[in-house]
Chain A
Amino acid sequence: MRARHWPTHLALGIVSAIMLLPFYWVLKTSLTGENIFVYPPALLPVDPHPFFFVDVWYAIPFFRYLVNSVIVSVIVVVANVFLNAMAGYALTRDFPGKAATILLFLSCMMIPFQVTIIPAYLITSKLGLLNSYFGMALPLMSTIVCIFIFKAAFEAIPKSLIEAARIDGVPDWMIMFRIVMPLTKPAIATNVILAFIWSWNSFLWPLVIVRDVEMQTLPLGLSRFLSVVEDTTGALYAFCVMVLVPGLVIFLLAQKEFITGLTSGATKG
């Protein structure tokens, strides 16, 4: 009754090829450029060279975009870990209005951020945060999914530990940061990776509030480069590769946490 596996391998091999082909194609193009005049297009890279990557480095303020992206992502990640842990910790306590707060969080989850952009833009402009790192980070600084991930992680910690510390006279906020949070490293890791990926890839929001070229993040720079360079060159695809690699590397390193976070969030929602 032991099933033969080669048909499964064959099918999965085909699926994998389809999933990988776009990545391969952009990598190939970034190394060889495009030859519109050569038909058929070469499937293997012919005379690969790294010059398009050099172009990107010198012709585009790539480093500037990178720094902007990193700054926004760091703000988002740090804020997420602290704010979500705090909110998650609060939700493990009994207090009047708890059910209403949870309901509020759950209903906020049903509002896609994209449908709020117009008022969100107006609010941010009233706050004077257009064109700023903080303005780009602010809407992403707390995530409901991650609040519930923290809540679940905190609830798994034995109550007696917290009680003991409290009776010992440790202030409540210190219990949270010094005793409880160090025990929930997996939740923190999940939150870090989710927040990072979301902020790293975020496009619509910076597009709406950033006017200044100096403040643009990588996705904005990428889309701007696409529209500036109408006849696309290899540099565009080299740019693509340079943008994709950090995200992919971080995903591959923290794949487990990322998937846990997504699925636990998904089953909650």
Chain B
Amino acid sequence: MATGTTSAPAQDERRRAPAGKVSFLASQRGRELTLVWLFLLPSLAIFALYRIIPMIWNVVLSLEFWSPYKPATFAGLYHYQEMLFYDDAFWEVVWNTILFMISAPVGIALALGVALMVNRPVRGREVYRTIVFMSYPVMTVAVGIIWQWLYNENVGLINYMLISLGVIDRGIPFLQSFDWALPAVIIASIWQVIGFYMIILLTGLQSIPPNLYEAASIDGASPAQSFRRITLPLLKPSIFLCFVVGIINSFTAFDLIFVMTGGGPGHSTDLLITYIYSNAFRLSKFDYAAAMTVANFLLFVALAFLANRLAGGDAGSVKREA
């Protein structure tokens, strides 16, 4: 590992003179602390500017009447009242966001299947792994454009395949349909993120000691049993992690929805994040959008917390049982 850089320290052995030990340490300590904070400063500044202050500002803004054109006045809970009681679209959008978030387990289950297969000693597993993962790092805007093309009513590949298989008679305008638009977007989103789930689950699978399986098979456990009693419990943390990724995906799905449907038809594919965007940057209702951002963040934290409790609680009980 160390190549070519060891020459400077190599010389010092001879020069280890104990000259002025105490004052040396004191000044050294002072300089070290300065350096530590100087090194931390840029990163801390960026996180303060773009994470911490915005979170506080969101809350403040949500309690004000504010627009770029006039000074702020205190609004109390006005925006929250409007949001909860008078904005019908808000509840539709919240429901869409929750649907989007809780669709994550579908993708995770599929990814688990793939991860289990790729984890077996089959030839070319690296190739399969790369192919499945390849959709994750590509630009989401491009993914959106590709999928809205696949969903095309007349010449889209998906309609063509469904017609060829005899599932439907005529093409469905998936992204223009109130019933199909959200599931269609969710499928595209799962397609993109499934590789990431698979990688997380693979890492989890590879950290399970193989001798557990050997012991189980000596004890006469069937593969299904060892999957249920060994793999699943030990994979709980990875699955939880996937779920958090899935929830966060409901924020990053902005790109996908912006390109594929723009939130339409109506609000049927609007998630909170896209609805916030249009309220703030199309309608200039920054204050109202800030209130919804607070709601969005709370929803995210609540679901992550719930998932954590589920994963933690279950994992403990299964361990005791086994």
Contact of B255 among A172, A219, A237 (CB under 8 A): A219
Which positions 122-145 of chain B face chain A at CB distance < 8 Å? 122-123, 128, 130-135, 137-143, 145
B52 → chain A, closest Cβ, in Å?
7
A267 touches B203 (CB 8 A): yes
Chain A residues within 8 Å of B160, by CB: 40-41
A167 CA / B6 CA spacing, docked (Å): 14
A247 touches B50 (CB 8 A): no
B145 touches A93 (CB 8 A): no
A104 touches B140 (CB 8 A): no
Residue of A nearest to B163 (CB): A40
B199 touches A263 (CB 8 A): yes
A110 → chain B, closest Cβ, in Å?
7
Contact of B120 among A3, A41, A116, A183 (CB under 8 A): A3
Which positions 248-294 of chain B face chain A at CB distance < 8 Å? 248, 251-252, 254-255, 258-259, 273, 276-277, 280-281, 286, 289-290, 293
A12 → chain B, closest Cβ, in Å?
5
Contact of A204 among B1, B133, B164, B277 (CB under 8 A): B277
Check B213 for interface membership: any CB of A closer than 8 A: no
Chain A residues within 8 Å of B191, by CB: 18-19, 22
Number of chain A residues whose Cβ lies closer than 8 Å to a Cβ of chain B? 100
Check A142 for interface membership: any CB of B closer than 8 A: yes
Number of chain B residues whose Cβ lies closer than 8 Å to a Cβ of chain A? 98
Chain A residues within 8 Å of B57, by CB: 118-119, 122-123
Check B296 for interface membership: any CB of A closer than 8 A: yes
A142 → chain B, closest Cβ, in Å?
4
B112 → chain A, closest Cβ, in Å?
12
Main DSSP-derived SS at the A contact region: helix
Chain A residues within 8 Å of B117, by CB: 8, 11-12, 15
B216 → chain A, closest Cβ, in Å?
14
B49 touches A25 (CB 8 A): no
* A-B pairs with lowest CB-CB distance, top 3: A164-B9, A116-B54, A168-B12
| Chain B residues close to A by CB (< 8 Å) | 1-2, 5-6, 8-13, 15-16, 31-33, 35-37, 39-40, 42-44, 46-47, 49-55, 57-58, 61, 113-114, 117-118, 120, 122-123, 128, 130-135, 137-143, 145-147, 149-150, 154-157, 160, 164, 191, 194-196, 199-200, 203, 241, 244-245, 248, 251-252, 254-255, 258-259, 273, 276-277, 280-281, 286, 289-290, 293, 296-297, 300-301, 304
Chosen A-B contacts, 21 in total, with CB atoms closer than 8 Å, are: A16-B132, A18-B191, A22-B150, A41-B157, A87-B39, A90-B35, A90-B40, A112-B252, A113-B50, A115-B58, A116-B55, A117-B276, A123-B49, A161-B6, A172-B35, A173-B35, A183-B2, A203-B139, A232-B149, A244-B139, A266-B241
User: Contacts A83-B42, A108-B51, A118-B293 given; 8 further ones with Cβ under 8 A?
Assistant: A8-B120, A22-B146, A139-B49, A161-B9, A167-B12, A168-B9, A173-B35, A226-B259
